[in-house]
């Protein structure tokens, strides 16, 4: 069990990591992010769910079920109850999600070439030029395509490539000294979040190269996603970063 809390101007965010016994007695590590708005608990918290052992669809299902539970506890403190609920009911949520997932897999078998997509959010880049050059070098070496996107304070990295290359990129991003801290010393990336890691579907367009792009408006950024057939990905993850 891991817990951290960081104050924000518009409320408080809690990052909680819990281990849950799942099917076949394997442990599932759930990373939950609760953003409590200023008028919480009269207003529902924003919840984000991540886990390396679950698919993106399963994480979304867990999030939806948690929000359903949250509505039952409106106007009373609920984070503790929600954590207890997910520890007790994760198995049931995964079973339901797996049934739906199996149907989809059967339909799409044989049509995919095993290309995966990764969407990362970075909190900041202090040594921007050096950081960008490093990301370009990694993507080139791993033959990954996509975009490094800047829009206001939002920094996103969207990558496509072999799943093994995507995994290797994540390791590099987490373990290399890519930036500098406030005193100018080289430091590892500690403020990165994996928003999404999924297999590229037929409706997604493949990026031909890796490019660095700056957008002056949210509409421009949205258009980039829409052009790539990623409208759903944009609407699921990007608006939450503006809150």
pLDDT at 109: 39
Q: Which of 7-16, 29-38, 48-57 has the lowest mean pLDDT?
A: 7-16
pTM for this one?
0.53
Q: Which CATH number fits domain 2-99: 3.90.850.10, 3.10.110.10, 3.40.50.1370, 3.30.930.10?
A: 3.10.110.10
**Percentage of residues of the chain with pLDDT beyond 90:** 30
Cα–Cα separations (whole angstroms), residue 86 to 34, 89, 142, 162, 206? 14, 5, 37, 32, 36
Cα–Cα separations (whole angstroms), residue 241 to 35, 88, 153, 217, 232? 11, 30, 10, 14, 15
Domain boundaries, the chain: 2-99, 115-241
* Overall fold of domain 115-241: Alpha-Beta Plaits (3.30.70)
With cut-offs at 50, 70 and 90, classify the pLDDT of residue 201.
confident
DSSP type of residue 201: P
With cut-offs at 50, 70 and 90, classify the pLDDT of residue 139.
very high
Query: Which uninterrupted H or E stretch holds 29?
Result: strand 27-36
With cut-offs at 50, 70 and 90, classify the pLDDT of residue 9.
low
């Amino acid at each position: 069990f891991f817990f951290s809390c960081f104050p924000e101007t518009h409320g408080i965010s809690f990052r909680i990591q819990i281990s849950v016994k799942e099917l076949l007695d394997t442990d599932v590590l759930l990373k939950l992010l609760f953003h409590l708005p200023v008028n919480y608990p009269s207003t529902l918290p924003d919840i984000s769910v991540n886990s390396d052992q679950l698919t993106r669809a399963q994480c979304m299902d867990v999030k939806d079920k948690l929000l359903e539970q949250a509505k039952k506890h409106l106007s009373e403190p609920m984070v503790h109850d929600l954590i207890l609920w997910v520890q007790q009911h994760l198995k049931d949520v995964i079973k339901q999600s797996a049934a739906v997932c199996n149907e989809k897999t059967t339909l799409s078998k044989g049509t995919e070439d095993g290309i995966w997509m990764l969407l990362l959010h970075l909190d900041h880049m202090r040594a921007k030029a050096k950081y960008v050059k490093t990301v370009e070098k990694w993507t080139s070496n791993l033959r990954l395509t996509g975009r490094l996107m800047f829009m206001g304070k939002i920094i996103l990295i969207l990558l496509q490539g072999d799943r093994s290359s995507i995994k290797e990129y994540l390791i590099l991003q987490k373990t290399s000294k890519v930036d500098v801290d406030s005193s100018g010393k080289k430091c590892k990336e500690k403020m990165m979040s994996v928003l999404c890691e999924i297999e590229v579907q037929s409706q997604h367009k493949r990026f031909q190269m890796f490019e660095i792009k700056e957008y002056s408006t949210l509409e421009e950024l949205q258009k980039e996603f829409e052009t790539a057939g990623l409208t759903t990905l944009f609407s699921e993850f990007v608006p939450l970063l503006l809150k």
